[in-house]
Chains A and B, each alone.
Chain A
Amino acid sequence: MTTGTAPAAPRRVIAGRPASLEDRATHYCPGCGHGVVHRLLAEVLDELGLAPRTIAVAAVGCAVFAYDYLHVDFVEAQHGRAPAVATGVRRVRPDAFVLTYQGDGDLAAIGTAEIVHAAARGERITVVFVNNGIYGMTGGQMAPTSLLGQKTTSSPLGRDARLAGYPLPITEMLAILPGVAYAARGSLATPSTIGKTKAMLRRACEVQAVDGGFGIVEVLANCPVGWGMTPVESIAHLAVVAETYPPGVLVDRGRA
């Protein structure tokens, strides 16, 4: 055991909170993936200098409170309507940077029409789509994205395809539309996939910034409470989720 004190090294900040992320306690559950996605998004907005002209759309679900954490202007949409709300913003504010932050219940169930048509129109918006395969805020019900066999409060025996259909790969569905400039799926499974997810978010923001078209990044995120797992178990489970929803760039039409 050493004694005494080492000579004081000059202090150097090697990590910190992005300027666009508010300094406050989180309301998200322990282990929830939203905090990571918030941070990635704030880093990208800062790096691209987009925050001062960002008008973001908050969607119904756990992340409706995104406006409590991201230091940008926000409008709160009705459930599922964020892409239409963003369209309205986009059309009267051509200089704004417009993004939506939506969960899978919001985007892939009640908001299916709005997301498909915003993508079909090639709206110059960026969609951050956090897919945790469950309705988190209402207590963990089955979503269109829930895995086959997944037990939830509304599929207590596990999702049965004969009764409740199959997981909806909506980002793949959107990727075939010519209005979509960029579509990708990332994951919060490992530090490596988190780094790749940040690069995807950056690219999805860039295509809007250069008027390239509609950009979407789906992020496979964990919901420990909704999944009935510990945070560590839930992160490990993202590898299982990725079997149904393989991460990767689905389309980059190379606009800009």
Chain B
Amino acid sequence: MTTVVEPALPEGIESIAAARAQEPAERVLLKGNEAIAEAAIQAGCDAYFGYPITPQAELLEWMARRMPEEGRAFVQAESEIGAISMALGAAATGARVLVSTSSPGFSLMAEGMSYLAGSELPVVLVNVMRGGPGLGSIGPAQSDYLQAVKGHGHGDYRVPVLAPSSIGEAMALVADAFEIAERYRTPVIILADGIMGQAMEPVRPVYRMPPRRVADWALTGADGRPPRVVKSLHLRPEDLEAHNDALQLKFRTIAAAETRWAGESLEDAEIVIVAYGTAARVARTAVAQARSLGLRAGLFRPISLWPYPSEALDRATAGARAILVVELSAGQMIEDVRLSVEGRIPVLFLGRTGGMVPTPDAVVAALRGAWAKTPPPERATA
């Protein structure tokens, strides 16, 4: 069974799920990149800026056709730097803005992310990750976890990172991402991978347009009011520290309210797999196989990678003998898993890189290995 934890929201703020539309009965076959693009349009995206890069190009192409149809802004920028800078300008006027890219392009957007965070501007960025480092490959990867979660640009800031593991979930998270971005005036990253972007799967398209908030900071022309300035420069140390203190308070608020995760078969799990995105899809199959073999395995799937669901993970693994982290990387999220359990139980790892994806059989084999390597949980011996 799947449990999605709805975060506790600050008083006076409506539930993110409350406005979610009724699910349609019809299922349609959708490609990830195109589904994300259309979900953004249906969520009221006013402007899209992008640059061609595999494996996210279909998202740009979808927007190139659909945004003009809707009378909204589309620009194919001269670079990813240009794209995120255009996003900064559009967002400064209060527009709902989407940008998308893949790993090498995300590196170029790092500068803009820092300025968006410093200027407190809401923009949703989709990173359809591919293999790296450098030009790497065009295959799926999760090797931008540390970049997305721990820091892209310079300075003391955090950005909410949402990781869908199905196309339907990606569509729902697009609307949620706009809402989080505007509620907290922050960029939000949707971290997908090449499989999420390229795969097609049947989904019930659920579209939702988050309500518009009054943006009393947005640039509209100083007509009958004092001028407004959207900026990140605070040359006086006292001013910049006060600005940073306010940002940190905001990050703590987000951490308290926007942590998301889902779990499967956790109740009696002795080995808990922790995986997100495509790796979680593989892990889910592996857990079912392991269960059919009598192995008590479970899956903990972080949906928000920042804020990381550390407390939930700690609680969910209280009775487990070990954790197996599965990633399409050489081991990046594993650092957050280890921080979550603080050495209480062994944290093992299975990863593939370069566009390779672990098979369910490989995950089951790793689960068997985990059983062999770790003592039974204390509750079993007590």
Binding site for B on A (CB under 8 A): 51-55, 57-58, 64, 67, 70-78, 81, 84-93, 96-97, 113-114, 116-117, 121
Task: Pick the contact of B229: A73, A85, A96, A114 (CB < 8 A).
Answer: A73
B128 interface residue, CB < 8 Å from A? no
Nearest residue, chain B, Cβ from A87: B86
Q: Which chain B residues (94-120) contact chain A, with CB distance < 8 Å?
A: 95, 97, 111-112, 115, 119
Question: In the bound complex, how far is the Cα of B231 from the Cα of A73, in angstroms?
Answer: 11
Smallest distance from the beta carbon of B266 to chain A beta carbons, Å?
Answer: 44
Q: What DSSP secondary structure best describes chain B's contact surface? A: mixed
Task: Pick the contact of B90: A53, A58, A89 (CB < 8 A).
Answer: A89
A-contacting 9-mer, from B74-82, B159-167, B272-280, B324-332: B74-82
A81: chain B residues at CB < 8 Å are 81-82, 85, 88, 112
Task: Pick the contact of B82: A70, A97, A114 (CB < 8 A).
Answer: A114
A85: chain B residues at CB < 8 Å are 85-86, 88-89, 92
Is A73 touching B78 in the complex (CB atoms < 8 A)?
no
Give the 9 A-B CB pairs with smallest separation, nearest first: A88-B89, A84-B85, A88-B86, A52-B223, A76-B231, A85-B89, A88-B90, A117-B78, A91-B73
B49 interface residue, CB < 8 Å from A? yes
Question: In the bound complex, how far is the Cα of B224 from the Cα of A152, in angstroms?
Answer: 45
Query: In the complex, which range does the number of interface residues on chain B fall in?
Result: 35 or more
Say yes or no: A75-B88 contact (C-beta < 8 A), given A55-B219, A92-B95: yes
Could you write out 12 A-B pairs with CB less than 8 Å apart?
A: A55-B220, A67-B227, A67-B229, A73-B219, A73-B222, A75-B229, A84-B85, A85-B88, A92-B90, A93-B93, A97-B221, A114-B78
Say yes or no: A75-B85 contact (C-beta < 8 A), given A89-B90, A89-B93, A92-B95: no
Q: Which of B89, B112, B227 counts the most A-chain CB atoms under 10 A from its CB?
A: B89
Smallest distance from the beta carbon of A249 to chain B beta carbons, Å?
Answer: 27
Nearest residue, chain B, Cβ from A60: B233
A72: chain B residues at CB < 8 Å are 221-222, 227
